[in-house]
Structure 1
Amino acid sequence: MLVIIFVATLLLFASPLIIGFIGMLAPAFAWIPALNMHQPSFLGWQQLSTWPDLSHSIGLTLLSGLGSTTLALWWCYLILRRYWLSTQWQQIERLLAPLLAFPHVAFVLGFGLMFSSTGWLARIWHHLGLADSFYPTLIHDRYGLGLLLVLAIKETPFLLLMSMSILKQLNIKQFYNASVSLGYDHQQTWRMVIVPLWLPKLRLAIFAVAGYGLAVVDIALIIGPTHPSTLSMLIWQWFTDADLTQLPRAAAGALLLLIIVLLCFGLLRCIEWWLLSHSAAWQYSGPIKTLTLHSRNISKTSAIATLFSYGLLLLPLIMLPILALWSFALRWRFPDLLPSRYSVRFWYQQFEPLQQLISNSITLALISSLSALIMAIICLEYRQKHHRGIPTILIAIPMVAPQLSLLFGMQIAVSFIAGQSFWLWVSWSHWLYVFPYIYLTLDGPWRSYDQRLDQTARSLGLSGWQTWWRVKFPQLKPVLLLAFAVGCSVSLAQYLPTQMLGAGRVPTLTTEAVTLASGQDRRVSAIYGLLQGLLPLVFFTLAMVFARRKTSHTQTTKVIL
């Protein structure tokens, strides 16, 4: 039974990747029989090359994608260097779960309400008497700096979470104590000893952050540059064009985006090799004597670092009260700091459509997460028993590959299948992106589980199923609940899979929030953003409550010898 389900999971996971690539490759070379395009050609590439400002769009894509990745990695390093091995790290660790649960779209909606030209920060700026001409423009700015900043802020907690398991595995405390005894100070120890060990193991997470930043669509729709826009935005506009003869250009753009992402991965790998392997003299130059700072300067620098770190990590959560305030604001004139009148009118107006949207969102999250959790458990059990599992590189493809490129091909392939099974295709696409996160969340605990517990239980007469349910499940229950909550949060945040595979017929909170953010009433957008941000937090809270809840009685196992 394990073998059958393992093979079925492998097929379900690998088939969309193959279908997606073929479905993107064929239209990219103008082979679409349904549109009477029976002869492959370079029509799409010709249309793509003649598009005005294409080079500017590619430049914006590289700036926002690679810039946000570099900034997030730098912030991650600074926070780790400041708090790892300190008593304050536990506080940082407790913040990571709600930060990761908070969806990108909800954060961006709050970010827009705070940093727009009439947002809360602009109101404070005006009351301070500062000139409006010096106010920073971060919403739809021509260089995409707002998009870069948002991506960096949201991806920093993800890199911190990935770094936690790496640093624990490396036993950093032992390296740190040895380096200090050899004369290295705190900063030199991190830069010259820990970074060369930490950075290579973080490679997959860095690729995931870079891949997302280079191909992001939903965030770019809300705050990204518009004239010109990023390459992913251009492809999305071409894909949604009513003129189907433009599909070859959209497919060629999707393939170009995939090539750019792969080249960027190669560039990042070359930079890592150059710094850590080729030009590595800085790692062996020994401790460098530095001037001792005055204690007052040290305390001042420490206070600034603490304020910056907590401000960076708490900024996404600050968006929740901003969204809540806007959702109840009836009249809020500029430059008033607070609304002059409050009302629940907009909540009443949106009550009926919200019921259907919340129902769709939760249903998709439960279906995709529960099925992914069960299949991940079976795959890990199969690997533990037969020492063969799903290759890590295959699991990582949905995390690092551009969603637009992969889903474009899947949507083209699905269009050839008769029927209106939109819920099936959307659930499948959500499962494709939920499964890797659940699998990787469970991978570490499954490897570290002491199998001698199972052997002891079996020797006492328990069957395989009884051993798993009575011995293994209680040990892994907290991480299973956490993995389920992670899967639900990933599903609730999906925009492109829902839009492209559902053809607009499976609306969710995320799809409506992005749509309303482009020009509707801010108060309505705030309602959708607030609910979209609260739902994942609800799942994480429930997971923590159930994980910590203790049973009122102790179950005993009776064994007949």
Structure 2
Amino acid sequence: MLRALYLIIIAVCILPTLPGLLGVAVSALGYIPPLGMHHFSLDGFALVFSWEGVWRSIGLTIYSAITSSYLACLITFAVLQATWGSKFWRKVELSLSPLLATPHVAFAIGFSFLFAPTGMGVRALHGLFGYDASPQDINDLAFLIKDPHALGLIVMLALKEVPFLLLMSISILTQLKIDQIEKVSASLGYSKAQMWWKCVFPQWLAKLRFPMLAVIAYSLSVVDVALIIGPTNPPTFAVLVWQWFTEPDLNLLPRAAAGAVVLFAIASLLIAFARLVEWTVTKGIKCWQYSGRSGISLPGKSLFLLIISLTVLMVPLMIIWSFAQRWRFPDLLPSRYSERFWQLEWDSILSTINQSLSIAIITASIALVLAVLAHEYRIKYKWQVPGYIIAIPMLIPQLSILFGLQVVTLYLSSDSYFFWVCWAHVFFAFPFVYLSLDGPWKSFDTGLTRVALSLGKSPLQAWWKVKMPILLPAIVFAWAVGISVSLAQYLPTLMLGAGRISTITTEAVALSSGFDRRVTAIYAIWQALLPLFFFTFAIMISRLPIKCRRISI
């Protein structure tokens, strides 16, 4: 039975990668029979590289992805170096859930409210310090939104990915036994900063491989965030490919598919580049690890407080915008407030919230069951699909496989939009849920299950009465992660839903491009609140005593 279920997991969550890649590759070569294209050609690639500004777009994409990812990595290491094992680290851990619960789109909208040309940052300079800026000065100050060099996109992505890398680092540093390393290093005369750089950093970076690759792949292929704060002329390459996919002329689809293939090739090159950087730092050039005793103490606390401060500022700012009726620039606060926009949007947003929650709960529940079955199969049969294969949906740009999957779904059932959107969300949420359970499942003492079996309990009873209560906090947290991932999906919802399925994320991104800031703020607030509710629920479950977690069967 378990083997049959594991085959279902492979069929649902892993094998679809092949038709996705095959479909987009064939389309890129000009073979799309429904459109009357029956011959292979390279015209799609010729159209891609002949588009004016495409090389600048590709350069922006590569440079922003690499810079933001390694900046996030450096900030994460700085926070760990400054806070691990201290009283402040407990505050960092408590802050991770609300930081992780804030979706990228909501964070990007709040970021734009802070740093836009008429945002709170410029208003604060004028109101608090009496700075009287000309229009040109305002544009120069607000250089982080829609700037041609993608600086705002880099900063925003770096700050947003730090909590994820911190969460992934907790299990890594626990395995490394930092206390013992610190004692041995101190006995050899090394300071704490030197110990972190020379002893911890190489091991930590090597074990952070998959999370870093996921961050690089996301930064490379992100569309929703880039639409909100990224450059526009030209945009990043992922946004450009998405614009090609939405062209009304279907004869240009080979160009869009070819762009998706090029994006996949860039992602593969960046993954190879990241592995080369890791090998160079940890194994290739090791002289820095033992030459002298140099070590720099990074301002980790200050950087983490900056992330917290920005996140905390965004929430009240979005609330103020949602109630602002009249807010002239450069006034620090609105002169008039009104709940009119909430009243006008309530019916529309309520239906969108209901649909978003329905999809997210279905998605997370299915992904959680599949992930639990996969881990139980690994324990029972001592075999599993390699982790890097399970992580493929995290490491491949979504545009590179979604078009192929969309073509396949049209052949199978062209009008089952809700079903295909839910399946796509499961496909992309499963790796996150699986990896969230990986550490707890590996650290569980299997001797407890053997004792329960020796006392006459069936395998199901042993799992339900012994293992499940102990691992329930990790299970609920993984479920919350699945819900958060589902709520944040933009491209899968648009492409497989064919525009007929609206979620809080698709509406927020659509409204952010020039619509009324008040309505945009309302959608951003709800997009931030929904994941926070489920992460809060997970924290409450984790604080229950084990005896209260048991459910009789």
TM class, shorter-chain normalised? over 0.9
SS at match of 1:330: strand
User: Quick one: which of 140, 144, 148 aligns to 2:150?
Assistant: 144
Distance (whole Å) between structure 1 residues aligned to residue 324 and residue 252 of structure 2: 43
SS at match of 2:87: coil
Count of paired positions: 547
Question: Which residue of 1 is the match for residue 5 of structure 2?
Answer: 5
Assess, with a 3 A threshold, how the Cα gap between structure 1 residues 288 and 448 changes in structure 2: closer, same or farther: closer
8 Å contact from structure 1 (residues 61, 230) kept in 2:
yes
Residue 214 (structure 2) pairs with residue 214 (structure 1):
no
8 Å contact from structure 2 (residues 367, 430) kept in 1:
yes
Distance (whole Å) between structure 1 residues aligned to residue 28 and residue 315 of structure 2: 42
Question: Which residue of 1 is the match for residue 404 of structure 2?
Answer: 409
Distance (whole Å) between structure 1 residues aligned to residue 199 and residue 142 of structure 2: 39
8 Å contact from structure 1 (residues 184, 288) kept in 2:
no
User: Quick one: which of 342, 357, 361 aligns to 1:362?
Assistant: 357
Question: Which residue of 2 is the match for residue 500 of structure 1?
Answer: 495
Structure 1: where are the runs of 5+ without partners? 291-300
8 Å contact from structure 1 (residues 99, 317) kept in 2:
no
Output one character per residue of 1:85-108: Cα deviation in whole Å (capped at 9) or x when no partner.
222111101111111111000111
SS at match of 1:88: helix
Distance (whole Å) between structure 2 residues aligned to residue 148 and residue 555 of structure 1: 46
Q: In the TM superposition, what is the alpha-carbon distance from 1:129 to its structure 2 partner?
A: 3.5
Assess, with a 3 A threshold, how the Cα gap between structure 1 residues 305 and 200 changes in structure 2: closer, same or farther: closer
Output one character per residue of 1:231-268: Cα deviation in whole Å (capped at 9) or x when no partner.
10110000000100111000110000110111111112
TM-score of the pair, normalised by structure 2: 0.96
Q: In the TM superposition, what is the alpha-carbon distance from 1:351 to its structure 2 partner?
A: 1.0
Question: Which residue of 1 is the match for residue 431 of structure 2?
Answer: 436
Task: Give runs of aligned pairs for residues 314-463 of structure 1, distance below 5 A.
Answer: 314-463=309-458
Question: Which residue of 1 is the match for residue 71 of structure 2?
Answer: 71
Question: Which residue of 2 is the match for residue 265 of structure 1?
Answer: 271
Distance (whole Å) between structure 2 residues aligned to residue 167 and residue 107 of structure 1: 28
Q: In the TM superposition, what is the alpha-carbon distance from 1:18 to its structure 2 partner?
A: 0.7
Question: Which residue of 2 is the match for residue 294 of structure 1?
Answer: none
Amino acid at match of 2:69: T
Residue 275 (structure 2) pairs with residue 274 (structure 1):
no
Q: In the TM superposition, what is the alpha-carbon distance from 1:355 to its structure 2 partner?
A: 1.6
Output one character per residue of 1:134-176: Cα deviation in whole Å (capped at 9) or x when no partner.
5141111111111111100100111111111111101112112
Residue 167 (structure 2) pairs with residue 172 (structure 1):
no
8 Å contact from structure 1 (residues 154, 316) kept in 2:
no
Q: In the TM superposition, what is the alpha-carbon distance from 1:553 to its structure 2 partner?
A: 7.5
Distance (whole Å) between structure 1 residues aligned to residue 511 and residue 254 of structure 2: 29
Task: Give runs of aligned pairs for residues 87-106 of structure 1, distance below 5 A.
Answer: 87-106=87-106
Distance (whole Å) between structure 2 residues aligned to residue 199 and residue 549 of structure 1: 34
Distance (whole Å) between structure 1 residues aligned to residue 505 and residue 181 of structure 2: 45
Assess, with a 3 A threshold, how the Cα gap between structure 1 residues 278 and 307 changes in structure 2: closer, same or farther: closer
Residue 168 (structure 2) pairs with residue 162 (structure 1):
yes
8 Å contact from structure 1 (residues 425, 501) kept in 2:
yes
Question: Which residue of 2 is the match for residue 515 of structure 1?
Answer: 510
8 Å contact from structure 2 (residues 120, 332) kept in 1:
yes
Distance (whole Å) between structure 2 residues aligned to residue 45 and residue 8 of structure 1: 36
Assess, with a 3 A threshold, how the Cα gap between structure 1 residues 288 and 476 changes in structure 2: closer, same or farther: closer
SS at match of 1:267: helix
Question: Which residue of 2 is the match for residue 81 of structure 1?
Answer: 81
8 Å contact from structure 2 (residues 75, 300) kept in 1:
no
8 Å contact from structure 1 (residues 231, 257) kept in 2:
yes
SS at match of 2:412: coil
Question: Which residue of 2 is the match for residue 114 of structure 1?
Answer: 114
Distance (whole Å) between structure 1 residues aligned to residue 16 and residue 550 of structure 2: 44
TM-score of the pair, normalised by structure 1: 0.94
Q: In the TM superposition, what is the alpha-carbon distance from 1:390 to its structure 2 partner?
A: 2.5
Distance (whole Å) between structure 2 residues aligned to residue 44 and residue 434 of structure 1: 31
SS at match of 1:252: helix
Q: Supply the RMSD in Å over aligned alpha carbons.
A: 1.9
8 Å contact from structure 1 (residues 512, 528) kept in 2:
yes
Question: Which residue of 1 is the match for residue 16 of structure 2?
Answer: 16
Residue 237 (structure 2) pairs with residue 240 (structure 1):
no
Question: Which residue of 2 is the match for residue 129 of structure 1?
Answer: 130
Assess, with a 3 A threshold, how the Cα gap between structure 1 residues 408 and 174 changes in structure 2: closer, same or farther: same
Assess, with a 3 A threshold, how the Cα gap between structure 1 residues 557 and 305 changes in structure 2: closer, same or farther: closer
User: Quick one: which of 520, 528, 535 aligns to 2:523?
Assistant: 528
Q: In the TM superposition, what is the alpha-carbon distance from 1:520 to its structure 2 partner?
A: 0.9
Q: In the TM superposition, what is the alpha-carbon distance from 1:543 to its structure 2 partner?
A: 2.0
Q: In the TM superposition, what is the alpha-carbon distance from 1:392 to its structure 2 partner?
A: 0.3
Question: Which residue of 1 is the match for residue 187 of structure 2?
Answer: 181
8 Å contact from structure 1 (residues 379, 390) kept in 2:
no
User: Quick one: which of 286, 302, 306 aligns to 1:311?
Assistant: 306
8 Å contact from structure 1 (residues 399, 433) kept in 2:
yes
Output one character per residue of 1:57-93: Cα deviation in whole Å (capped at 9) or x when no partner.
0111012111101110111111111111222111101
Amino acid at match of 1:34: P
Distance (whole Å) between structure 1 residues aligned to residue 115 and residue 161 of structure 2: 19
Distance (whole Å) between structure 1 residues aligned to residue 209 and residue 295 of structure 2: 32
8 Å contact from structure 2 (residues 469, 546) kept in 1:
no
Distance (whole Å) between structure 1 residues aligned to residue 184 and residue 403 of structure 2: 52
Q: In the TM superposition, what is the alpha-carbon distance from 1:27 to its structure 2 partner?
A: 0.6
Amino acid at match of 2:244: W
Distance (whole Å) between structure 1 residues aligned to residue 25 and residue 147 of structure 2: 33
Query: Which is further off, 122-131 or 175-184?
Result: 122-131
Distance (whole Å) between structure 2 residues aligned to residue 422 and residue 314 of structure 1: 40
Output one character per residue of 1:471-512: Cα deviation in whole Å (capped at 9) or x when no partner.
111111111111111111111111111011101111000000
Q: In the TM superposition, what is the alpha-carbon distance from 1:408 to its structure 2 partner?
A: 1.9
Q: In the TM superposition, what is the alpha-carbon distance from 1:555 to its structure 2 partner?
A: 7.7
Output one character per residue of 1:342-389: Cα deviation in whole Å (capped at 9) or x when no partner.
111000101111121001100011111101111111111111111112
Distance (whole Å) between structure 2 residues aligned to residue 553 and residue 163 of structure 1: 30
Q: In the TM superposition, what is the alpha-carbon distance from 1:547 to its structure 2 partner?
A: 3.4
Distance (whole Å) between structure 1 residues aligned to residue 286 and residue 503 of structure 2: 50
Question: Which residue of 2 is the match for residue 250 of structure 1?
Answer: 256
Output one character per residue of 1:165-216: Cα deviation in whole Å (capped at 9) or x when no partner.
1111011121122112211122221111111111111111111111100111
Residue 92 (structure 2) pairs with residue 60 (structure 1):
no
Question: Which residue of 2 is the match for residue 298 of structure 1?
Answer: none
Assess, with a 3 A threshold, how the Cα gap between structure 1 residues 356 and 555 changes in structure 2: closer, same or farther: closer
Distance (whole Å) between structure 2 residues aligned to residue 540 and residue 273 of structure 1: 36
8 Å contact from structure 2 (residues 465, 551) kept in 1:
no
Distance (whole Å) between structure 1 residues aligned to residue 8 and residue 221 of structure 2: 30
Structure 2: where are the runs of 5+ without partners? none
8 Å contact from structure 1 (residues 357, 507) kept in 2:
yes
